[in-house]
Structure 1
Amino acid sequence: METFPIPDTPGAQDPGAGRRLGVDVGSVRIGVAVSNRDATMASPVETIQRRTGLRDEDGADIERLLALVEELEVVEVVVGLPRDLKGRGSQSAQHAVMIARRLTRGIERLRNEQRVRPRCRVQLADERLSTVVATQAMRTSGVKEKDARSRIDQAAAVEILQSWLDQRLKVLPRRLPKPGPKKGIVNR
């Protein structure tokens, strides 16, 4: 029986401020989302049409993701790890792990060439039900089924990334202003 990695914990080994890239790996398409610089809100970026679902021929997919890492100046890549409700992996989980490993190697190469941020890392996020949630949200918002097919992977990537960002904000210490007198106010 194959063992699968445990998803990473948001906030652990946190690279700090900066954009995050969310990735939903599918056999036909890869959905991509990005956060704002404050890492509080995820937005769709694009859907990468896969040339093939075969792992030996997905070099173009990896290169496109690496180009986005560089272009968007991200500090963290969050790859969805599909698991069933009992936490077990599948063929899709194996593929997501393989993509995450190849992205890690590619980011290391770009780091050596000083083309990405030094702290940039790849994390695996539990993505149970992300596509289901994304599909329901699209139906609720009135998106037609034909249009939804071309956007569902981006919506799933947004769901994966937004969940990661929300959990991250819960575990990181809040960066509130230090207590003390406000500017322009005289204490007497």
Structure 2
Amino acid sequence: MSENSSPQFVSALGLDIGQKRIGVAGCDGLGLFATGLMTLKRSAFERDVAQLRELVEDRRVQVLVVGLPYSMNGTIGFQAKKVQKYATGLAKALDLPLEYIDERLTSFQAEQMLRDAHISPSRNKGLIDRKAAAIILQQWLDQRRGQQL
């Protein structure tokens, strides 16, 4: 591999931002694989930031990747605007760049993964959020890797 084609290290945090919870995912040091890390129960914005800041510092995060819930027709609706406003505030408070990824159907995919593993989605909402965040981050990592080839 030549010097110019070596993969660049990236530490990204993937977020699936919901009304009640935030699914959080991180990636390995090479930026190849996303893994669900935790589910944060939303409370006061400052408390959410404090919990995420700890994770950002521990993992030396360089970018926030947030799933944006586009409408099925591809437009940005009410919920997506709420997510954008919240994510923009998080990125500013954490002093990190922010990137969005289309998250349509990620929660559905996460629920299906649980069903396939014989785990009840209705009793594991936090796990669904974590898995959805990992799917969001994995999509971003895959797109990024595709652009580097």
TM-score by length of 1: 0.70
SS of match in other structure, 2:119: coil
Matches within 5 A, 1:167-178: 167-173=143-149
Matches within 5 A, 1:123-162: 123-162=99-138
SS of match in other structure, 2:89: helix
Q: Is the 8 A contact 2:13 2:63 kept in 1?
A: yes
Distance 1:103 1:21 in 2: 12
After superposition, the Cα gap between the structure-2 partners of 1:105 and 1:152, relative to the gap in structure 1 and judged at 3 Å, is: same
After superposition, the Cα gap between the structure-2 partners of 1:103 and 1:29, relative to the gap in structure 1 and judged at 3 Å, is: same
Q: Is the 8 A contact 1:24 1:157 kept in 2?
A: yes
Matches within 5 A, 1:84-95: 84-95=71-82
Deviation, 1:164, is 0.8
Aligned twin of 2:4: none
Q: Does 1:102 align with 2:89?
A: yes
Aligned twin of 1:12: none
Question: CA-atom RMSD, angstroms?
Answer: 1.5
Q: Give 1:72's aligned amino acid.
A: R
Where do 4+ consecutive residues of structure 1 move more than 4 Å? none
Name structure 1 gaps, 5 residues minimum: 1-15, 52-56, 109-119, 174-188
Distance 1:23 1:76 in 2: 11
Q: Give 2:37's aligned amino acid.
A: V
Q: Is the 8 A contact 1:20 1:75 kept in 2?
A: yes
Distance 2:77 2:45 in 1: 19
Q: Which moved more, 1:129-138 or 1:141-150?
A: 141-150
Aligned twin of 2:32: 40
Task: Please point out which of 12, 16, 24 is paired with 1:24.
Answer: 16
Q: Does 1:76 align with 2:63?
A: yes
Q: Give 1:154's aligned amino acid.
A: R
Deviation, 1:91, is 2.6
Deviation, 1:144, is 2.2
Q: Report the count of equivalent residues.
A: 142
Deviation, 1:147, is 4.1
Name structure 2 gaps, 5 residues minimum: 1-7
Q: Give 2:110's aligned amino acid.
A: A
SS of match in other structure, 1:74: coil
After superposition, the Cα gap between the structure-2 partners of 1:169 and 1:29, relative to the gap in structure 1 and judged at 3 Å, is: same
Q: Is the 8 A contact 2:49 2:94 kept in 1?
A: no
Q: Is the 8 A contact 1:77 1:121 kept in 2?
A: yes
After superposition, the Cα gap between the structure-2 partners of 1:89 and 1:67, relative to the gap in structure 1 and judged at 3 Å, is: same
